[in-house]
Amino acid sequence: MPRIAPIHWKKLECVFLKAGFTFEIIKGSHRIYSKPGISRPIIIPTYNEIHVHIISSNLKSAGIARKEYFRLLEEC
Q: pLDDT tens track of the chain, all 76 residues?
A: 789 999 999 999 999 999 999 999 999 999 999 999 998 999 999 999 999 999 999 999 999 999 999 999 999 9
Is 3 a domain residue? no
Angstrom CA distances, 66 to 40, 43, 51, stand at 19, 18, 16
Tally of CB atoms within 10 A around 44? 22
Is 4 within a domain? Answer: no
Q: Which CATH number goes with the domain that contains 16?
A: 3.30.920.30
CA 76 to CA 30: how far, in whole Å? 20
Whole domain around residue 42: which residue ranges? 9-75
For residue 23, what pLDDT is reported? 96
What is the pLDDT, as a whole number, of residue 16? 97
Assigned domain for 61 exists: yes
Number of domains in the chain: 1
